[in-house]
Amino acid sequence: MPWNVDGVSGEDRFVALHYNPPAAALIAQFERKTGVGYPVGSIYVKRPSDEQYWKAFAGDDTTTAVDVATASRAPLLFFQVLVVSKTPKAGDPKAKAGIGMNWSHVGRIDLSTGEQSVVVDAKRFRERHDGAWVSRLISASEDGKSILCKIAVHKSAPNARIGYSVCRLHLETLDFDVLAALSTTFF
């Protein structure tokens, strides 16, 4: 049964609750299922001046918000936006297409104003870094000027795998520092 309480409606599953001290804001993540069966994430915010939660990011049937992180000394909330795409099954033209998620951008919400912006655009980032992408947002710096994330980089050698690293991504320049190389996408 979908949620319908305190400004949250139409969501199937509660995912996480976050808190941003500078804005004294509660940030709630929810998911709902789509007709195709994959979950779509939305973000709701409630500040002391708000009577109920308001939808800060509304996922639709093809767009989802994931990996929410908040800055501890700035009223800023960060999240990744993924867009659903159909992916053909390799080698079998009669096989049904699968569903994949493509990285669109890292978004930011100023919790004091509600203003939403794109801080890392996927196309621009890939062009700048030879096809690299942010595969997971882990956390935000205290001041909100950088994010800790997992970045995937194509290796240039023939038949090379994609390399994953934990990185600090500087939002003003889009430069990143590799903090730790990962042996697989998971760790």
Instruction: Tell me the CATH number at 31.
Output: 2.40.128.660
pLDDT of residue 58: 87
Our separate counts of H helices and E strands in the chain read: 1, 14
Low-confidence ranges of the chain (pLDDT < 70): 1, 36-37, 86-98, 155-158, 160
What lies within 8 Å, CB to CB, of 9 at 6+ separation is: 2, 3
What lies within 8 Å, CB to CB, of 1 at 6+ separation is: none
Cβ-based burial of 19 (10 A; exposed 0-12, middle 13-18, buried ≥19): exposed
pLDDT of residue 97: 60
- Residue at 187 is within a domain: no
Specify which residues 107 forms β-bridges with. Answer: 79, 118
Structural domain span for residue 29: 4-182
Helix (H) or strand (E) holding 170: strand 162-170
- Residue at 56 is within a domain: yes
pLDDT of residue 38: 78
The structural domain count of the chain equals 1
pLDDT of residue 88: 60
pLDDT of residue 81: 96
